[in-house]
């Protein structure tokens, strides 16, 4: 069974540009969550999509957005990039939406490492 | 609001010995799940073990066990017979079962296994 696939793995952008990251969940998983990981802030929740609907959102500015397609693949977009957006962006999928069951394990991808210059 | 605390930024252990990584949490919910993940230098988060708040027995998965003390709100990870490949960051996480709460993570502990 294929795992969670994130593309691209590495990318470099400059301030003011925008970026789109892609996540393909495990087959059959309907929930996709996105996290930002930085050395200073650790792992922070961005948002979660379940059946093409955003169900939950973390405390990030509106420059961060996402969507989920009918095949459960998800994309996240960051517009007007800032230096502080440099981070590892992790996508995780699960069979059920977050909060549905305590045992609902998140399976993570390898991440997309974004560097903003 | 849920909060996860990992007080050990770094830990060292000799190969083949056991090590305990600490995790405390704060929640007002009665129903929640506790998770441990391992993150090697490659970046991928690997699920290790899960403990439900109503589980009476401590969870075990191979060399991993979770020392769950509900009254103290602690969920320490015990790794037995450490291996060099266990060197990584370890994250404790919690998710409350209600209100569509997302999974929240602690700051992590960097474990280094010495040969």
The tens digit of pLDDT for each residue in A12-60 reads 999 999 999 999 999 999 999 999 999 989 999 999 999 899 988 999 9
The beta-carbon neighbor of B102 closest among A42, A45, A108 is A45
**B95 contacts B102 by C-beta, under 8 angstroms:** yes
**A76 contacts A65 by C-beta, under 8 angstroms:** yes
**Beta-bridge mates of residue B96:** B32
Cβ A102–B95 below 8 Å, yes or no?
A: yes
B81 Cβ under 8 Å from any chain A Cβ: no
Round to whole Å and give the CA distance between B9 and A58. 25
Largest CA distance in chain A: 41
The tens digit of pLDDT for each residue in A51-93 reads 899 988 999 999 999 999 999 999 999 999 999 999 999 999 9
Within 8 A of A33 by CB-CB distance, chain B residues are 102-103
The beta-carbon neighbor of A111 closest among B43, B102, B107 is B43
Round to whole Å and give the CA distance between B15 and B47. 22
Cβ A108–B103 below 8 Å, yes or no?
A: no
């Amino acid at each position: 069974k294929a795992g969670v696939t994130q593309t691209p793995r590495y990318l470099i952008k400059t301030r003011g540009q925008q970026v789109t990251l892609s996540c393909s969940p495990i087959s059959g998983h309907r929930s996709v969550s996105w996290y930002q990981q930085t050395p200073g802030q650790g792992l922070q929740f961005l948002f979660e999509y379940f059946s093409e609907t955003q169900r939950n959102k973390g405390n990030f500015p509106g420059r961060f957005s996402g969507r989920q397609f009918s095949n459960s693949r998800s994309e996240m977009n960051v517009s007007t990039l800032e230096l502080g957006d440099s981070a590892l962006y992790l996508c995780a999928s699960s069979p059920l939406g977050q909060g549905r069951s305590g045992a609902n394990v998140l399976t993570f991808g390898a991440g997309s490492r974004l560097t903003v210059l | 609001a849920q909060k996860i605390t990992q007080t050990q930024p770094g830990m060292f252990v000799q190969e083949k010995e056991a090590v305990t990584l600490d995790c405390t949490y704060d929640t007002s919910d009665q129903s929640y799940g506790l998770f441990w993940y391992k993150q090697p230098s490659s970046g991928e988060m690997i699920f290790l073990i899960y403990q439900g708040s109503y589980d009476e027995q401590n969870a075990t998965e191979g060399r991993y066990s979770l020392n769950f003390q509900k009254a103290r709100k602690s969920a320490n990870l015990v790794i037995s017979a450490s291996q060099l490949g266990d060197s990584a960051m370890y994250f404790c996480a919690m998710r409350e079962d209600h209100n569509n709460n997302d999974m929240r993570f602690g700051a992590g502990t960097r474990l280094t296994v010495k040969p």
